[in-house]
Structure 1
């Protein structure tokens, strides 16, 4: 590919089931994982087991200081990392105006949306919202209009897919852009009349569901001079594209061609087909999308028939190895035998990767980057190390799983496209080990702050593999990358409460991790980073790496947000007056606006109201003043989110509207977005200031 100038990106921004999700969501999104035993049975230490050691070391970690903060990708090239993190630098970096910029120092000026249960997207006074693109809207030229009652697989493959999740926007001049959206999973119960399960479904219904997975590239345009955007429906729409379960792809990186990735259809182990259950994502400095395959385990059958040596590795990824046809399975195997593990035991190893897609080239082949490891990827967020190496942060979204990052071996070179597109194939994959700094007696499960006034500590990035060299005893490099969870178990990574989205603040350089919840954490497992047992509301963790260098191997951490009802003493909002904040439960995705304010979307609200999008300054006198910006329709989760560079538009994906207990096509619980008696349709929505102002100003 010829060298091109780098593309400029808009910054990124109840039932027997545990949590606030409905039984339908648990069934179709993740195959009822919460109803099964925790798959991480390793004896890795929890935070509480290593707190005492941290207390004795705290005095030694005070020396030194973090360098200037990184203002954005490629900025703030500071000195190389040194051996130990500076824990006290965390205090200096938490909202006291140090570094480049003072994001959010004047607060966010909008009236908080009150918790509610309305069947609409609710925004603050003075703001408007509207759908941009909905399930079934034509994407490819010649695609038919959506017809709920007469949908076909051929039509769906050319139309916008089902449950939309990660959203990002690539500009095409001032008034147009390319919107990328993940399509995480399908809820056939809300797609087809009379649906019961995959065994009874028609083959056409199964094919429609397969075509509704994947992702979409759609061209959108600004409406007048406002912050509203709409789908481009005229002209060639030459960039528009659908990625599905059937899209040809290729493996690159150290595990490509490994015996673990070879199948009868692909004896070289280099040509996977399609992507599954893509949740969050990220972008690269060279203008491509990184989309994470998450709950891939639920799409396969006959885990009972795989070789015995493979079963422990499959079980580590929640693959059912005791039931041939797991309950609720979509039965993709009925139309494509590659989903039958009895016939193709390695096929499942070809899912669970970070997939790179070029939105500017609809003819390009998506790439599964094996150097970034295989897990239930929430997504991958890139940044640059102080020396120019590319860094990708990743979460593994399951109970007691881990936080990871990848650091490339070579440096990013602006404009050198051919070189840059090799960077994610060669580098070091790390997993995080966290240590608290307070005595165990001060972490009592009540959520009361320890004596030092904060939940915080230090940590280390442990190397798993560098290129073709494994750092895990007893495992080859390919095994580390294909069975990444097992490798992380072996090196003593720290078990976390469902690590989801991981994002780096473009103003402060802090790395924020959304920890959605974990009802399985027992009182004996409570620790400083997970200060509550049966953690149903979740929290947000910030990592400050040594010298604020994304390439560093040591860091400090703290909890700026412990979610729940502000009246609950176990909640914490960076020390802000809790009588003035919005209640929040189950943080799922995080993003930042250009001022460095934190935006948090939720999934599975346990406080009796619908999910929503929240914003919170992380610096200045308003630090911790969390306010709800919008709320979701009935049954929906907030995904996305994205605040544009001009701060005039906020995009969110409204995922699974109407997905409530007992809901069916014949008995819908939501009629959003079309109203009347219509069926609910997952959609991407944009919100904007009615007078054309900046969001929150």
Structure 2
């Protein structure tokens, strides 16, 4: 949109390739849902314990991703953060604290399947790329595979052809073979890795590895399950049954389940399609709600994949759009298995999904819809988790109840003035309710069938009156306390040009730096429908009086901008990865305790090269390693493969890569 700043500190190049210039277009959410201020009810006294973080919750059952540590156990409680923070910088390297080392685990183009060649940018073919590690690694999961071995699972979110192909001029000028290379570079990789000696360093296992696998947009089948599988909205000429999709697209964050599978979120899928102007008229409002351009045949931001596969032309195959935007579940332990797209979990621009087992045994998955003014969601399984019964647990995400969040602040609207100044009760906090949208084959949204609720979940959230948030991205439960933490990355449109104004959970106009939301389910019940919430961190420069770090002394806090991914170590410390630092520094990884006297003492653990986004992260349960995905290094305006803005990691041109950080003395990372 003209005159608006781009997302945080992102380059225009990143905005172009990562999300199809989403911030340059009007936000798809045009609903009239009420603001927090319209819903406010003063309840300070009643809810103060929960908002202040004094409410003690159970651990919520099985641990989340930090408990799925490779070859190292689950670690022990305790472990105060003791590392010296790294300073903000623009260095072309991964900078880690004193006393730590880092190394690349795997990079774009590294061979992972038998007979795959090494990367040669002058000889790229679709077959080569389908056998090599893909581009722009985002989410990372590390799952145990015996002593000192593990399976690394990585998402490959998107491609930047300017940084992939020598002599690149434009997307329109690409050959069909180059388009197919880009399609093959999307998807996911499964790679067997091993510990290097007794250190915290990891590397790929050499030779033929039976678990290694690529899932790509070119040819990998995915099976739909759940209530919307087979519905009219998913049927196409190539798949008249509506039960099998080819490929997974724009995979952003994800999670590791307690039964040892990986969840992956399909996000900005709209940018890959053309022909929206010729889609059926009745379908156009639903396409537009997901950001698909419906006024032109060839959108300026399209990748023009229809030249390689006509299914990306909505004029011919309008339902193909509905086959992406789901949560995908992949079993890395079974390389012959067909991954699934879970329709019961709803369709939107999924950042990811993270799972916790409730006290009752049902599984709760928390999800964010990553766009301005979109919603937070929760899915609760109908079945219950059975330890050791993997076959049963693999069915848990196929049936259950999908909810959307409505939040209410507890301060008078006049005290939320748009600057980020704390209200008189000294906290941004309040209460909330999970509103059911669908359960099994029942819809709770008048006028929408269950298939429509699950396929057009954004419109179901509109109808339910959900709260419009500042780009809810990664959402993850703490495996120690059961509280839920969501990264709200930013929203430069908040409160300007007639767009939704501030409220207590989104308290700043033209929000460039974002905030972190903490949710405490009432009575520690992850299957329940009520909760309390607060903002423990309002991001930005600590010298800015309108930032907040849980009341901690801001002179000791690192500056942070645009939180994106969330993780926990075995001691319960919160780790935050950033995307689009608007403070002039490279993006990085940060950590803070969320309980006790050090709550809010945020420190920067590492920085990534210029133009890169910090993704992952994954902390092993033994505490000895942290894996970080360095996505789109050198993605700086004007850069090309021939004229790179970064030469990390090999000194020639920028390559997305996974890196691991450890302490040479064998100690726990961070503490």
TM-score (normalizing by structure 2) = 0.95
Match of 2:57 among 44, 59, 69: 69
1:177 and 2:154 aligned: no
Contact between 1:73 and 1:285, CA under 8 Å: does it hold in 2? no
Contact between 1:132 and 1:686, CA under 8 Å: does it hold in 2? yes
Where does residue 542 of structure 1 map in the other structure? Answer: 518
What is the distance in 2 between the residues matched to 1:392 and 1:639?
20
Where does residue 437 of structure 1 map in the other structure? Answer: 410
Distance 1:66 1:430, change over 3 A: farther
Distance 1:151 1:264, change over 3 A: same
Deviates more, 1:106-115 or 1:627-636: 106-115
Q: Which structure 2 residues correspond to residues 550-569 of structure 1 after superposition, within 5 A?
A: 550-569=526-545
Distance 1:24 1:75, change over 3 A: closer
Where does residue 96 of structure 2 map in the other structure? Answer: 123
1:532 and 2:500 aligned: no
Q: SS where residue 474 of structure 2 aligns?
A: strand
Measured after TM superposition, the shift of residue 397 of structure 1 is 0.1
Length, aligned pairs only: 653
Q: SS where residue 589 of structure 2 aligns?
A: strand
1:387 and 2:360 aligned: yes
Q: SS where residue 565 of structure 2 aligns?
A: strand
Where does residue 242 of structure 1 map in the other structure? Answer: 214
1:446 and 2:419 aligned: yes
What is the distance in 1 between the residues matched to 2:212 and 2:660?
19
The C-alpha deviation readout for 1:338-374, integer Å capped at 9, x for no partner, is 1111111100100000011110111110100000000
Q: SS where residue 246 of structure 2 aligns?
A: coil
Contact between 2:61 and 2:361, CA under 8 Å: does it hold in 1? no
Measured after TM superposition, the shift of residue 559 of structure 1 is 0.3
The C-alpha deviation readout for 1:19-73, integer Å capped at 9, x for no partner, is 211111111111101000111000001212212xx21x45555799998533364
Contact between 1:459 and 1:557, CA under 8 Å: does it hold in 2? yes
Distance 1:206 1:288, change over 3 A: same
Measured after TM superposition, the shift of residue 425 of structure 1 is 1.3
Match of 1:625 among 574, 592, 601: 601
Match of 2:27 among 35, 38, 41: 38
The C-alpha deviation readout for 1:313-344, integer Å capped at 9, x for no partner, is 00000001011111142211101111111111
1:22 and 2:11 aligned: yes
1:575 and 2:551 aligned: yes
Distance 1:59 1:108, change over 3 A: closer
Where does residue 87 of structure 1 map in the other structure? Answer: none
What is the distance in 2 between the residues matched to 1:546 and 1:331?
48
Measured after TM superposition, the shift of residue 552 of structure 1 is 1.4
Contact between 2:7 and 2:580, CA under 8 Å: does it hold in 1? no
Q: Which structure 2 residues correspond to residues 52-131 of structure 1 after superposition, within 5 A?
A: 54-55=41-42, 57-59=43-45, 69-71=57-59, 73-74=61-62, 107-131=80-104
Contact between 1:135 and 1:160, CA under 8 Å: does it hold in 2? yes
Contact between 2:63 and 2:356, CA under 8 Å: does it hold in 1? no
Gaps of 5+ in 2: 65-74
Q: SS where residue 552 of structure 1 aligns?
A: coil
Gaps of 5+ in 1: 1-13, 77-100
Match of 1:646 among 601, 606, 622: 622
The C-alpha deviation readout for 1:588-629, integer Å capped at 9, x for no partner, is 001000010000000000000000000001111111110000
Where does residue 297 of structure 1 map in the other structure? Answer: 270
Contact between 2:200 and 2:661, CA under 8 Å: does it hold in 1? yes
What is the distance in 2 between the residues matched to 1:114 and 1:103?
29
Where does residue 637 of structure 1 map in the other structure? Answer: 613
Match of 1:680 among 654, 664, 668: 654
Contact between 1:48 and 1:525, CA under 8 Å: does it hold in 2? no
Measured after TM superposition, the shift of residue 648 of structure 1 is 0.6
Where does residue 80 of structure 1 map in the other structure? Answer: none
Contact between 1:102 and 1:619, CA under 8 Å: does it hold in 2? no
Where does residue 260 of structure 1 map in the other structure? Answer: 233
The C-alpha deviation readout for 1:103-138, integer Å capped at 9, x for no partner, is 66x631111000000000000001000000000000
Distance 1:62 1:532, change over 3 A: closer
Contact between 2:60 and 2:526, CA under 8 Å: does it hold in 1? no
Contact between 2:261 and 2:329, CA under 8 Å: does it hold in 1? yes
Measured after TM superposition, the shift of residue 146 of structure 1 is 1.1
What is the distance in 2 between the residues matched to 1:616 and 1:102?
18
Distance 1:37 1:248, change over 3 A: same
Match of 1:602 among 557, 573, 578: 578
Measured after TM superposition, the shift of residue 662 of structure 1 is 0.7
1:664 and 2:640 aligned: yes
Deviates more, 1:142-151 or 1:369-378: 142-151
Contact between 1:137 and 1:146, CA under 8 Å: does it hold in 2? yes
Contact between 1:357 and 1:367, CA under 8 Å: does it hold in 2? yes
